A and B are shown apart, each in its own frame.
Chain A
Amino acid sequence: MSYIGILITYIFIQNFILVQFMGLCPFIGVSKNSESAIGMGIAVTFVTGIASVVCYAVHTFLLVPFALEYLRTIAFILVIAALVQLVEMVIKKMSPALYQALGIYLPLITTNCAVLGIAIINIDEGYNLLESFTAGIAAGLGFTLAIILMSNIREKLEMTPVRKVFRGVPIAFISASLMALAFMGFDSSLITNLHLG
């Protein structure tokens, strides 16, 4: 599949939140206002991009040569946890302004399924280094798109008369469900019709 094909697949067709349900906890937890949604989205995109490359490298150059593929889950989660720490330290040193904006979201990302999810999907799909990186960025962008849309919907919902039992999380789920219905319009035939396959 071409790089644009991978981008479209993971942003729209296999959208991480609305189709694969990865990263639902921050999606519901952090989508109350659009500023924090954007911060979370950028932080996740940053980490999924880097984690895809590093996990690909760990799998290809460390696990496969020593026939240790069964340690994949442990190796990847350790790499991701270390990476998130490292990214946090680097951002703190290089750009205090960016750290101010992303700081509180970075530690949460270790346990975001989207990061481990894309690392495992890359290996299962047999992507090469550059394809893994593209898929990682695309997955992050898909997450960002969904969380920003959701935060805008929730800001509007704040001012809407919603029945008491549906207020808060339930109405957020139902709105997400309607968004998922809209995302069903993107399916794999899009890739075929655009000749990206």
Chain B
Amino acid sequence: MSAHMKELTKGLFKENPTFIIMLGMCPTLGVSTQVSNALGMGLSVIFVLTFSNMAISALRKIIPDTIRIPSYIVIIASFVTIVEMVLHAYVPSVYAALGVYLPLIVVNCIILGRAEAFANKNTVLDSALDGIGMGIGFTMSLTLISLIREVFGSGTITLFAVGGFDGVIEIPGLSESPIGVLTLASGALLVMGYLKAFFQWKSSRGKK
């Protein structure tokens, strides 16, 4: 069982898709203006990654080697379409906020990368665990970036509205005079640069 657990946990820190392997950065920066969008995006990616990994792993002996990339893309695109339709029907606000980045999950390098590097060589169970782990790692990084950008950029934390709670937590002190640039495109790249530097520092320290 420990070998299976390793497939699950390696995506969280050791092979974190965003900060260590540097894959799938377009949605990471594009939707990280609000925590709720980051969570919506993260959950969509976990779903697509897990199921496409499972499907590709199950079909790995049937798909001919020469046309594997187009086949993977079709499988991934089908799951993305399912997510699009479900979000459109049940959470239209998240659907609207994610906009063009939702269909762009198809070309998110993480998903094709895991299919090519992992799912076409491993069993269905391991591929599913790998998908969940990588998906959670991606969601954590995305949430971290969006938390930094939203807390310092607009002084709020936006979650989903439940009952009487409207979903927005205001942080006293920061919400009156936030660092507005962090919510803009430039701030996203800046936060990403500093976080990447932090992870490089951490991994270089770990080696010593």
Residue ranges of A at the interface with B (Cβ–Cβ < 8 Å): 18-25, 28, 70-74, 76-78, 81, 110-113, 115-117, 120-121, 124, 164-166, 168-174, 176-178, 180-181, 183-184
| Interfacial chain A residues near B189, Cβ < 8 Å | 18, 173-174, 176-177, 180
Q: Assess the A73–B84 pair: CB atoms within 8 A.
A: yes
Q: Assess the A111–B186 pair: CB atoms within 8 A.
A: no
Given the interface contacts A21-B185, A73-B84, A113-B104, does A170 sit within 8 Å of B193 by beta carbon?
Answer: yes
Given A113-B26, A177-B193, A181-B186, 9 more pairs with CB closer than 8 A = A21-B30, A24-B25, A25-B25, A120-B100, A169-B22, A169-B193, A169-B196, A180-B184, A184-B184
6 residue pairs bridging A and B, Cβ less than 8 Å apart: A25-B25, A78-B77, A164-B204, A174-B190, A177-B193, A184-B186
**Chain B, residue nearest A78 (CB):** B74
Q: Assess the A72–B25 pair: CB atoms within 8 A.
A: no
**Chain A, residue nearest B30 (CB):** A21
Does B73 sit at the interface, judged by CB under 8 A?
yes
Does B5 sit at the interface, judged by CB under 8 A?
no
| Interfacial chain A residues near B200, Cβ < 8 Å | 165-166, 168-170
CA distance A121 to B22 in the complex (A): 25
Given the interface contacts A24-B25, A77-B73, A165-B201, does A170 sit within 8 Å of B107 by beta carbon?
Answer: no
What distance in Å separates the Cβ of B148 from its nearest Cβ neighbour in chain A? Answer: 14
CA distance A16 to B57 in the complex (A): 34
How many residues of B are in contact with the other chain, CB < 8 A?
43
Does B194 sit at the interface, judged by CB under 8 A?
yes
Given the interface contacts A78-B73, A81-B70, A165-B201, does A73 sit within 8 Å of B26 by beta carbon?
Answer: no
Q: Assess the B26–A166 pair: CB atoms within 8 A.
A: no
| Interfacial chain B residues near A181, Cβ < 8 Å | 181, 186
| Interfacial chain B residues near A78, Cβ < 8 Å | 70, 73-74, 77
**Chain B, residue nearest A85 (CB):** B70
Contact of B194 among A24, A111, A170 (CB under 8 A): A170
CA distance A116 to B24 in the complex (A): 14
Given the interface contacts A173-B192, A177-B186, does A28 sit within 8 Å of B25 by beta carbon?
Answer: yes
Q: Assess the A174–B193 pair: CB atoms within 8 A.
A: yes
What distance in Å separates the Cβ of A172 from its nearest Cβ neighbour in chain B? Answer: 8
Q: Assess the B204–A165 pair: CB atoms within 8 A.
A: yes
Contact of A116 among B25, B29, B104, B190 (CB under 8 A): B104
What distance in Å separates the Cβ of B182 from its nearest Cβ neighbour in chain A? Answer: 10
Q: Assess the A24–B26 pair: CB atoms within 8 A.
A: yes
Does B58 sit at the interface, judged by CB under 8 A?
no
| Interfacial chain B residues near A170, Cβ < 8 Å | 193-194, 196-197, 200
CA distance A73 to B79 in the complex (A): 10
| Interfacial chain A residues near B112, Cβ < 8 Å | 111
Q: Assess the B192–A22 pair: CB atoms within 8 A.
A: no
What distance in Å separates the Cβ of A74 from its nearest Cβ neighbour in chain B? Answer: 4
Q: Which of B25, B185, B190 has the most CB of A within 10 A?
A: B185
